[in-house]
Amino acid sequence: MWNYSKNLQHKVKIKNKDIRMAKFLVTQYGGPDGELSAAIRYLNQRYTMPTGSTKGLLTDIGTEELAHVEIISAMVYQLTKDATPDELKAAGLGGHYAQHDHALFPTDANGVPWTAAYIGTLGNPVTDLHEDLAAEQKAKATYEHLIDLTDDHDVKDVLKFLWAREVVHYQRFGEALESVYDLNKSKRIF
Amino acid sequence: MAKSLKDLSREELMDNIHQLKFAAVDLNLYLDTHPDCKPALTDYNNITSDLKAVIAMYEKKYGPLTNFGGAESKHPWSWVDEPWPWESGE
């Protein structure tokens, strides 16, 4: 069962309204390498992990990714709050306004809606952990691109935090993979 | 001389919660792949006990941070109080 704490994992206090940045940032909400993909991927893979340790890790990282979904959503919310339809149009979010007003909606940076096609769950833990390692690298690269796209310190601060978490998750998945290799070796009967 | 919990402002309490919770999450992930690491476990348990104390102080003064039986509420039901985290940024 999920617990919700009524606070963000990292503060989001954006003072300036760079609405165009919201359009780019949303890729880490509903895009292929975003936090929602990560959460759904890990929380689905956890069922067929072979050990308590790997079930625990996939559950815990999946849960942390939900907290990151919330952070990205908070950033988009603050960046577009009080934006007029004209301002949204000028920032390339006219289509979003037409369909959603100021509501949040998970898409990539081009408005393509999130799809479960972004995730893989193959049931083989070696396979699934390889997907997870790749996912963390792709998320890290995407944060690097997003950091390049803004000069706003309030935004960059949060992006650097999320970038650093990807690096740590990659490390943990690597350790989980090693543990699965060891487990498979120990099961071999010659 | 460190201030005692009851003298901290709301912002200071929330800052403490952010820092301690972050440490707890990070150590939790580490322990998931290093379950035999005693130093990490000792740290985790100390942080957990500190975090619980800070959260208890915050909730006593400012209302629940968790629902579904995580914390008690004064009257009227204050779980629904504003601002919500995406508005306050905390």
Q: Please check whether residue A131 lies inside any domain of the structure.
A: yes
Q: Answer whether B17's CB lies under 8 Å from B54's CB.
A: yes
Q: Answer whether A66's CB lies under 8 Å from A41's CB.
A: no
Q: Among B73, B80, B60, which residue's Cα sits nearest to residue B13?
A: B60
Q: Please check whether residue A14 lies inside any domain of the structure.
A: no
User: Does B25 contact A4 at a Cβ distance shorter than 8 Å?
Assistant: no
**In one letter, which amino acid is A186?**
S
Residue A17: predicted pLDDT? 86
Residue B81 pLDDT level (bands cut at 50, 70, 90): very high
Residue B89: predicted pLDDT? 98
Which residue on chain A is closest to B59 by alpha carbon? A6
Residue A3: both structure tokens together: 């617990």
How confident is the prediction along chain A (190 residues), in pLDDT tens digits per residue? 999 999 999 999 999 988 999 999 999 999 999 999 999 999 999 999 999 999 999 999 999 999 999 999 999 999 999 999 999 999 999 999 999 999 999 999 999 999 999 999 999 999 999 999 999 999 999 999 999 999 999 999 999 999 999 999 999 999 999 999 999 999 887 7
Mean pLDDT of B43-59: 98
Tell me the ipTM for this assembly: 0.96
Count of domains for chain A: 1
Residue A110: both structure tokens together: 């081009």
Q: Name chain A contacts of B25, Cβ cutoff 8 Å.
A: 9, 60, 64
CA atoms of A152 and A141, how far apart (whole Å): 19
Which residue on chain B is closest to A11 by alpha carbon? B90
User: Could you report the per-residue pLDDT of A71-121, keeping only the tens digit for each?
Assistant: 999 999 999 999 999 999 999 999 999 999 999 999 999 999 999 999 999
Q: Please check whether residue A148 lies inside any domain of the structure.
A: yes
Residue B1: predicted pLDDT? 53
CA distance to partner chain B, nearest, from residue A143 (Å): 20
User: Could you report the per-residue pLDDT of B18-38, keeping only the tens digit for each?
Assistant: 999 999 999 999 999 999 999
Residue A189: predicted pLDDT? 74
Residue B61 pLDDT level (bands cut at 50, 70, 90): very high
Q: Which residues of A are part of the catalytic machinery?
A: 35, 65, 68, 136, 166, 169
A64 contact B CB<8A: yes
Q: In chain A, where does DSSP find H-type helix?
A: 19-25, 27-30, 35-45, 52-80, 85-90, 94-100, 125-148, 153-186
State the CATH number of the domain containing residue A175. 1.20.1260.10
**CB crowding B11-50: b at 16 or more within 10 Å, else e:** eebbebbbebbebbbbbbbbbbbbeeeeebeebbeebbeb
Q: What is the domain extent for residue A106?
A: 19-186
User: Does A8 contact B22 at a Cβ distance shorter than 8 Å?
Assistant: no
Q: Please check whether residue A95 lies inside any domain of the structure.
A: yes
Lowest mean pLDDT among A61-70, A124-133, B1-10, B56-65: B1-10
